[in-house]
Structure formats: C-alpha cells, structure tokens
Amino acid sequence: MDSETHGFKVGAFDCLAVSDGTFAYPPGVFFANASKEDYEAELEKRHLPLDEVTTPFVCLYVDTGEHRVLVDTGAGKLAPTTGRLVQNLRSQGIEPASIGTVILTHAHPDHIGGILDSNGALAFPSARYVMSRDEWNFWTDAPDLSSLHCNEHIRQLVLQCAADMLPLIRHRVDLVDDGAEIVPGVRAVAAPGHTPGHIAVEINSRGETLIDAVDAVLHPILIEQLEWYSSVDLIPEKTLASRRHLLKRAVEKGATLMAFHFPSPGLVSRPSAKCSG
C-alpha cells in the first residue's frame, strides 16, 4: 500500500481505492449555483485554497474471490497529472488483463479516458464492460450538452472523448438497468443527473455495504450543501435528487460512502442522517 492506493475490506471482498491522478479546477465548477461568498466560506472552514480545487480521480477495484471488477478507467492522458491507474494497479500486483469486468459509471472523459493504454490498445483486454442502458443510448445518439454551464471547448472535449472511446467497446459492452446485479454482490444503482444514465455502484458482502456514489457527490462540501450542484451536472434537479437518495440509502444501510473526486482514498465512513436531508 502507498499514497496512491488504499486497501480495505467489504465483508469478504478485497477492495482497493486506486488513484488515477489529480486535476485542478476553478471552485465555481463544483458550486455553480452557490455565491462566491458562500462557497469560499465553506472552503475556508476546511482550510482549503480559494483559487482552485485540486481533486483526485479515485477508481474502485473489487476482488470478490470469483470476479475482479474495476469501477471506471480514469482519465488516461487527459492531463499530465492523470493516467496513473494501470501503474498503480500493477504496484499492488494486479495486472490489467486479470480484470474481468469494467463498470463505466458514465461517459465523461475522466471516467472513460483510460479505456485505451499508452500504446492505443485496450487497457483491460479481457474485460467485459458494463454501462447503464440510458447512458449508452444518450452518448451514442446525438448527445445534447447545451444545458451544461461550461464553455464550448469543454463541451466538445466531452463529446469527442465519448465518440472516440465508446465505439471501441461496442462489441463487449453489457447494458444494464437500475438494480442490475453485475456480479454477485455488486449492483448498479441509478443515479441520474450528472449525466442522463449516471450510475452508482453498491457492494454487499457478509452484511457490510459500500456505496460508490461516483459523481453524484463531486465534493465533500456537497454532502452538507445538498442544494448545490456543479457546472457539469447536465440535469441539476436530478443530480440533487440522486444525491439525497444515495445518502439516505447509505444511512439506512449503515454503509461506507465512496466518491470518485473525494480526497484520497475517497471514503466516508457511515455518513450521518442529517447529511441525507
């Protein structure tokens, strides 16, 4: 174990939070409908910089004993500070070819950009890919990102990544709906809003539960500020509903919560009831 990885157990399952790197964003990206004064107060309270938010990209690896599952592929070569997932897996003795299932929670570049390795081949050559049916249909049928509160360059970057990556897995992708069991003990949970078919992933083993909320909660501040959303939430009202649903689910199940952009290793042990509103 090192600063790039964090091993833990969910019941009998061996899990690993694995860093793909980091990226720095203007704070307004995360808190698009909050005033500068309000979000700066929240950042100051946590002794965080006011000029930028440096966020980790934390993928989840699960070994159930029968299945090796990876949740998201990271950003690949999106930035000089990303694309560390495969080397960090290998540092823990996990070869990419040994992973049998790759869950793609949604088709943003920081989650599908690592489908290819540095040589242009599939990074996880033995895997079947799993994606929400709604998500796949959105990105492969003239996706409309006009409602995003970001500039045209970002919109085009997002669109181009989906157009480049998704066709590469067309013949090895399984499309699933809410509640689908992906492998025994690993289930898809619909959490739309960030994208139309965004999913969370729930892990259950021996009475223990982990809920990976992925991008339904983009920053720890948003666990408390339940009405704030980001500039990259395509359908903000659905994002807020999904976030409340996942937090409530975590509270009710006594689950550990995980999120892709939370400070490494991305885990929050048993969020309190007040966080779910």
pLDDT value of position 118: 87
Pseudo-torsion of CA 101, 105, 108, 109, nearest 10°? -30
Distance of CA 7 to the CA centre of its chain: 18
Give pLDDT tens digits for 220-252.
999 999 999 999 999 999 999 999 999 999 999
Triad 13, 59, 234: Cα angle to 5°: 125
Provide the pLDDT for residue 197.
98
Retrieve residue 13's tokens: 């399952």
pLDDT in tens, 172-206: 999 999 999 999 999 999 999 999 999 999 999 99
Domain membership flag for residue 277: no
Among 237, 267, 230, 229, which Cα is nearest to 250's?
267
Whether 276 is covered by a domain: the verdict is no
156 is a domain residue = yes
What distance in Å separates the CA atoms of residue 108 and residue 111, rounded to the nearest whole number?
Answer: 6
Q: In DSSP terms, which residues pair with 209 in a beta bridge?
A: 204
**Cα separation of 89 and 19, whole Å?**
9
> Is beta strand 173-176 parallel, antiparallel or unpaired with respect to 199-205?
unpaired
The whole-number mean pLDDT for each consecutive block of 10 residues of the chain, a chain of 277 residues, reads: 85 98 94 97 95 95 98 95 97 98 98 95 97 98 91 93 97 98 98 98 98 97 96 97 97 96 84 56
Using CA atoms, how far apart are residues 136 and 120, in angstroms rounded to an integer? 22
Which domain CATH number covers 100? 3.60.15.10
What is the rounded radius of gyration, in angstroms, for the C-alpha atoms of the chain?
Answer: 17
Domain count within the chain: 1
Whole-prediction pTM:
0.95
pLDDT of residue 2: 55
Dist CA 147 CA 237 (whole Å): 12
Q: Residue 188: inside a domain, yes or no?
A: yes
pLDDT of residue 149: 84
At 1 the pLDDT is 41
Strands 199-205 and 68-71 come out as unpaired
Which of 65, 7, 17 is CA-nearest to residue 201? 17
Question: β-pairing, 101-104 with 128-132?
Answer: parallel
- Owning domain of residue 229: 5-271
Cis peptide before 143 (omega within 30 of 0): no
